[in-house]
Structure 1
């Protein structure tokens, strides 16, 4: 992206301050979360233009003066508050930390799912495996354990995952259904939200969800609750086991925020198996957030940070890819990109792929 192609235009003094922010980043993170959890951000915001004093905040909280004061002091240094005449006011960064859904989902995901495991990042990078996953459970990767995670951790994981995909649904559905598919295979369909969006959009389409047993059980329960169990069908498989079957001859294969869960060799294998299952006129639609396709630097920052979740927590070898890497893998698998659309939802890219003609 253009915002990474030249040095940042900041002074040495400012750069030195940025380095200190990095050094103390875990402190800043936990302070931000505590200010949110204890309701202090909201209490300062609710005070409006008059602001709120430390004694008034003490009346609103069970925390000690000491506890509130150290949080406020660090909040001032972080730019969450400003203070005049001993009254605290919410600054712009504090406003977005409190009111921005993306910030909230990201913060909960990092705290509940990633924080302890990220301590093992160094080991994960050296070993090529998710050394931090042990803080969540005893699995080779996080995916078989998703349905077994403690409720709060599970909620934060799925809210994070769905937040980014759900924002793309409204604009995606007309694109996907312009070819009028009668049978869609949702590869790695998780809880089934995309499958249910498809059956709501088109009353005739049938959707098969291919996934691991734990996720399929949740998806099919949701299908029954949504009264679409007759049109949303399960297909149990392990995409990493080439001896397992692959759903054959669908009109459209759908992979949303899915391929980033695998290494490059695994992605090529999965794509080749998809090609083998497709009809000559079938389509494969891949939806991903590529860090080089983000319209803003903040988006690229979040996407690149998410890669380290895969490194330390999820499996140790996958990542959020550069779009050129994905295009090379698509080509190697025997596919070509018929349509390439950026800026869908929150920085998603849709690649509509077809089998290369012989």
Structure 2
């Protein structure tokens, strides 16, 4: 994107300050979380323009005056707060940290899922393995263990995953159903949120979810709760085991925030298997967030940061891709792009793909 194509216009003094922020970033993160966790940001926000004193905060908190004071001092340095006449008030960054759903979702995901594992990033980069995953469980990748994560960790993982995909659903459904598919194959469909959105949108469509047994067990329960068990089906498979079957002959194959979970070599194999399973009239729709297609620098920042979660914790070899990398993999698999739509939901891109005609 253009915002990465030239040096930032910043003074040497400010750049040096930015370097110190990076050095102390883990401290800043934990202070921000604790200010939120102990309701200090909310109490300051509730006080409005008048503000609130240290003594008043201490009387309302389980923390000591010392504990609150060190958090407030760092909050001032971080630009979360400002203080005049000994009364603390929220600054703009503190306001959004408290009220912005994206900031809250990202913060909980990093703390509950990633924080300890990211200490192993150096090892993960050297080994090409998810060295930080051991802090969550004994699996080769995080995916077989999702249903076994501690409840708070599981909640933060799924909240993060669904937050970004859910914002795209309303825009996507009319686009997906303009081809009137009778049978959608939701590849890596997890616990079924997309499948249920589809069955709610179209009373006749059937959806088959392809995924690991742990995720499918939850999807089956959810299908019963949503009264669509007769239209939402499960197809158990491990997509990394290329000897296992792939659902054949679906009208539309759907991959949402899925291919970023795999390395380029694995994506090439998955796409090749998808093409082999498609009939001449099938479509493949790929929904991803590409860092180079984001409408602003904040989006690209979040996506590039998410790549390191895959490196250290999820699997050790996947990432959030540049769109050109994905397009090459799609073309090499024998597909062409029939439709390319940016800025869906929170910076998603949809590639509607079809099989190239054989001369």
**TM-score of Structure 1 vs Structure 2, range by shorter chain:** over 0.9
Q: 1:283 maps to what in 2?
A: 283
Q: 2:224 maps to what in 1?
A: 224
Output one character per residue of 1:196-251: Cα deviation in whole Å (capped at 9) or x when no partner: 00000000000000000000000110000100000000000010111101001000
For 2:126 and 2:62, how far apart are their aligned partners in 1?
44
Output one character per residue of 1:177-205: Cα deviation in whole Å (capped at 9) or x when no partner: 00000000000001100000000000000
Output one character per residue of 1:90-143: Cα deviation in whole Å (capped at 9) or x when no partner: 000000000000000000000000000000000000000000000000000000
Cα RMSD (Å) = 0.3
Aligned residue pairs: how many? 358
Q: 1:32 maps to what in 2?
A: 32
Correspondences of 1:205-216 after superposition (within 5 Å): 205-216=205-216
For 1:88 and 1:314, how far apart are their aligned partners in 2?
40
Structure 1: unaligned runs, 5 residues or longer: none
1:62, distance to aligned residue in structure 2 (A): 1.4
For 2:5 and 2:262, how far apart are their aligned partners in 1?
28
Q: TM-score, normalised by structure 2?
A: 1.00
For 2:66 and 2:315, how far apart are their aligned partners in 1?
41
For 1:189 and 1:175, how far apart are their aligned partners in 2?
19
Q: 1:152 maps to what in 2?
A: 152
1:70, distance to aligned residue in structure 2 (A): 0.2
For 1:275 and 1:62, how far apart are their aligned partners in 2?
59
For 1:268 and 1:331, how far apart are their aligned partners in 2?
10
Q: TM-score, normalised by structure 1?
A: 1.00
1:344, distance to aligned residue in structure 2 (A): 0.2
For 1:148 and 1:314, how far apart are their aligned partners in 2?
14
Output one character per residue of 1:48-102: Cα deviation in whole Å (capped at 9) or x when no partner: 0000000000111011110000000000000000000000000000000000000
Q: 1:242 maps to what in 2?
A: 242
Output one character per residue of 1:272-324: Cα deviation in whole Å (capped at 9) or x when no partner: 00000001010000000000000000000000000000000000000000000
Correspondences of 1:1-358 after superposition (within 5 Å): 1-358=1-358
Q: SS at 1:105's partner residue?
A: helix
For 2:64 and 2:243, how far apart are their aligned partners in 1?
61
Q: SS at 1:207's partner residue?
A: strand
Q: SS at 1:166's partner residue?
A: helix
1:19, distance to aligned residue in structure 2 (A): 0.2
For 1:62 and 1:208, how far apart are their aligned partners in 2?
50
Q: SS at 1:285's partner residue?
A: strand
For 1:150 and 1:45, how far apart are their aligned partners in 2?
32
Structure 2: unaligned runs, 5 residues or longer: none
For 1:281 and 1:16, how far apart are their aligned partners in 2?
57
Q: SS at 1:185's partner residue?
A: strand
